[in-house]
Chain A
Amino acid sequence: MKTKNQLAAAPWVFTVGFFLLWELVCRAFKISSFILPAPSTILLAVWEYRSQLTYHALHTLWMTFAGFGLAVGFGLLLGMLLGSSRLINAGSYPLLVGFNSIPKVAVVPILVFWFGVGWVPPVLTAFLISFFPIVVNVATGIATVEPEMEDVLRALGASKKDIVFKIGVPRAMPYFFGSLKVAITLAYVGSVIGEQNASNVGIGNLLTRASAAFEVPLVWAALVVLAVLGVIMYAITAYAERSMTGWAQRSQMAA
């Protein structure tokens, strides 16, 4: 019981400890707040700019969820397609990997040519950067159905579709929910990158403007807000994973 409590407390202790250490180092070495502001300074800045930060953060969240939603829908569909056909899988894998290797910052200008500055580039950047892990995980879950299980159903006259929907898709769910944790963080990074380069609102845009104006505390405050929101979104998807696919953790099947 003791170790369980310790485990639950550890994240808080480590986080608080990290910021205390940071504060101490800043004060002990009298580091200029232009180089590295102390957490207390950043916190003050967060408070000072709270309305501006809230406005832009909400915009960023909105972009992230839109892009993430697209990635989930597209990722599920493509993953199901790749998982159920070895031919399509083999054929499209190099394309997918190649596409995934392109730094998405480099794609933003193209999105601006196509759609102009606004909400479309951040949403699409979030989408483009985050669908890949979903596709790969869903495809893997479906493609690794035990051959015996497949034989049992095929001997009864089951079609490929029956097998994919009755076994493949439910089996892929732990993989799918696992990939959401990765995908949401990626989508978030994507929307911030998109906003930095092709939007007039959002935390990304705020960062660009604040750094151009050398408003160092505001830059740091924006970063902290980003980090906190990132942790919250990750926690939500992790919770969804646990509550949706409890059977995968209790059975031996490793997700």
Chain B
Amino acid sequence: MKPFVDIHDVTHVYARAEDGVPAVQNLTIRINEGEFAAIVGPSGCGKSTLMKLATGLQFPREGTVIVDGKEVGAPVKLAGMAFQNPTMLPWRTTVDNILLPLEIVEPHRSRLRKHKAEYVAKAEGLLEQVGLKGQGHKYPWQLSGGMQQRASLCRALIHEPKLLMLDEPFGALDSFTREELWCVMRDLHAARKVTIILVTHDLREAAFLADRVFCMSARPGHIVAEREVTFPRPRDLEITYTPEFSELVHELRGHIAQARKAA
């Protein structure tokens, strides 16, 4: 199978890095089409940098980044992104926030005005999928943090991206809301053939959601371990209480501890 995201031997130094130390070094990672990949690693190890490289927001100093068979030389245009901070625009209603990517991406950009109703219906369908049915007319500041994060997922998916980038999206939420959103994520991934890269520092989150978990070393980051997660899908939250699950989390924890010690 051909990888969808292929980062090969990449070293990246930020232009504005004062010490000139690379953020990632000799980073190689292959993610298959439709796969749910999780990336875990100590803080500051270059996880967000990997996201930016894969979406063409940054270009590597050395090595190649290939996404969907093409070498990345500009923003990839097929990615949806969500961050820890939901970054909803407070002057737009939730639906209008979700429609924002369509105002950028062709062919929607030129169709949006004429086919507004069709797109609004689509946004509302997404809202229903993430458990926000009928909340589209509200402004983001009328929603709780968890609800804003759900809306932010809808915004990342509205243009049907082939690649979904999630950078610690549930980091700021309480653990109940977080587990609810794991299930939302699981169902969204099952419902559409989208490749997902999830950056997280929550090992249980990675183990529950991902097909494969990649562990990164401390800065300059590279992949130190890769672990297939074989729990059958659809997974139930109950599996997180099984001994096999704990064992997996424990193993991942060992890799991270080692990565931190090596630094």
Contacts and interface: CB of A to CB of B under 8 A. Distances in A.
Given A166-B100, A250-B141, A155 B89 contact: no
Nearest to B51: A151
Interface in A153-188: 153-158, 162, 166-167, 170-171, 173
Range, interface on chain B: 20 to 34
Interface stretch (B75-83, B202-210, B245-253): B75-83
Contacts of A252: 141
A251 interface: yes
B46 to A, nearest CB: 16
B92 to A, nearest CB: 8
- Interface core residue of B100, B104, B105 (most chain A CB under 10 Å): B104
B85 interface: yes
B145 to A, nearest CB: 11
Given A167-B89, A170-B89, A247-B139, A156 B57 contact: no
A149 interface: yes
B79 A155 contact: yes
Nearest to B163: A155
A250 B141 CA distance: 7
Q: Chain A at the B interface: mostly helix, strand, loop or mixed?
A: helix
Contacts of B136: none
B55 interface: yes
Interface in A201-255: 245, 247-248, 250-253
A166 B109 CA distance: 13
Contacts of B104: 153, 156-158, 162, 166
A251 B57 contact: no
Interface in A127-157: 146, 148-149, 151-157
B35 to A, nearest CB: 19
A182 B129 CA distance: 47
A10 B155 CA distance: 47
Interface in B86-114: 87, 89-91, 100-101, 103-105
B75 A251 contact: no
B122 interface: no
B77 A156 contact: yes
Contacts of B75: 154-157
A120 B227 CA distance: 75
A103 B87 CA distance: 42
Nearest to A146: B87
B140 interface: yes
Nearest to A162: B104
B91 A151 contact: no
Contacts of A247: 90-91, 139, 141
Contacts of A251: 90, 139-141
A151 B57 contact: yes
A149 B165 CA distance: 14
Contacts of A250: 90, 139, 141
A155 B52 CA distance: 9
A245 B91 CA distance: 8
> Top 5 nearest A-B pairs by Cβ distance?
A251-B141, A251-B90, A157-B77, A155-B55, A148-B83
Interface of B: 52, 55-57, 74-77, 79-81, 83, 85, 87, 89-91, 100-101, 103-105, 139-141, 155-156, 159, 165
Given A166-B100, A166-B104, 7 more contacts: A146-B87, A155-B81, A156-B104, A157-B75, A170-B89, A171-B89, A251-B141
26 contacts: A149-B89, A151-B52, A151-B55, A151-B81, A151-B83, A152-B87, A152-B156, A154-B57, A155-B75, A155-B80, A156-B75, A156-B79, A156-B105, A157-B74, A157-B77, A157-B105, A166-B100, A166-B104, A167-B89, A170-B89, A245-B91, A247-B141, A250-B139, A251-B90, A251-B141, A252-B141
